[in-house]
């Protein structure tokens, strides 16, 4: 078990605390920071917002930025998760032709849709540095986190300056 079930409740309470004091992009950045620093097998954590037919990186925490700041819905594991409105766990990214390479050390990925008012508004994207880094406990935990993030992701899009 990657995320011990007993760790889920305190971690979800911490996510709730973050969301009660911050909103929009600030909340997303803090949740990414919390997840990365609380779970060592989450070395890179990002939150993408759905903007038309693209996913746009709104917040991330990790050792380096990704070049994939905009991902079309028809590309990659991120696009697949949003398109199909389901969590996707890739045990070994090197054997998945759908994977968009970001970092040489990435070996696994989990992508969880974020919904708000019944529609997908974004997703949590986490890279892992070991094959099979994520399991069913990660899925359950991250789906619970994603449930909480819907309003913040929706609000982050409204924070953008007018063109």
> Which is it for strands 44-51 and 108-116: parallel, antiparallel or unpaired?
unpaired
Q: Which residue segments constitute the domains of the chain, with CATH numbers given?
A: 5-158 (3.30.450.40)
First to last CA, the chain: 47
C-beta of residue 77 within 8 angstroms of C-beta of residue 109: yes
Question: How many Cα atoms are found within 13 Å in the side-chain-facing hemisphere of 60?
Answer: 19
Q: Is the pLDDT of residue 75 over 50?
A: yes
Residues in contact with 20: Cβ distance below 8 Å, sequence separation at least 6, in sequence order: none
87: confidence class by pLDDT, cuts 50, 70, 90: very high
Q: Is the pLDDT of residue 152 over 50?
A: yes
Q: What is the mean pLDDT of the chain?
A: 88
Phi-psi region of 85 (alpha: psi -120 to 50; beta: other; left: phi over 0): left
pTM: 0.89
Q: Is the pLDDT of residue 124 over 70?
A: yes
100: confidence class by pLDDT, cuts 50, 70, 90: low
**Span 58-87, mean pLDDT?**
92
Q: What percent of the chain has pLDDT over 90?
A: 69
In the prediction, which pLDDT does 1 show? 41
C-beta of residue 48 within 8 angstroms of C-beta of residue 55: yes
Q: Count the helix, strand and coil residues of the chain and give each as a percent rounded to the nearest 5.
A: 40, 25, 35
Q: Is the pLDDT of residue 153 over 80?
A: yes
Distance CA 105, CA 21 (A): 34
Q: How many CB atoms lie within 10 A of CB 157?
A: 16
**Span 122-133, mean pLDDT?**
96
In the prediction, which pLDDT does 16 show? 95
28: confidence class by pLDDT, cuts 50, 70, 90: very high
In the prediction, which pLDDT does 163 show? 42
């Amino acid at each position: 078990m990657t995320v011990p079930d007993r760790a889920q409740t305190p971690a979800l309470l911490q996510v709730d605390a973050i969301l009660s004091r911050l909103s929009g992009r600030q909340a997303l950045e803090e949740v990414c920071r919390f997840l990365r620093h609380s779970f060592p097998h989450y070395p890179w954590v990002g939150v993408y917002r759905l903007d038309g037919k693209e996913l746009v990186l709104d917040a991330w925490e990790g050792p380096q930025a990704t070049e994939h700041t905009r991902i079309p819905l028809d590309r990659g594991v991120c696009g697949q998760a949003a398109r199909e409105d389901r969590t996707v766990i890739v045990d070994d990214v090197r054997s998945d032709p759908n994977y968009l390479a970001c970092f040489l050390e990435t070996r696994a990925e989990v992508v969880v849709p974020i919904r708000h008012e019944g529609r997908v508004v974004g997703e949590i994207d986490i890279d892992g540095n070991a094959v099979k880094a994520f399991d069913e406990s990660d899925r359950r935990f991250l789906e619970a986190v994603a449930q909480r993030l819907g309003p913040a992701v929706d609000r982050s899009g409204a924070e953008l300056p007018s063109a």
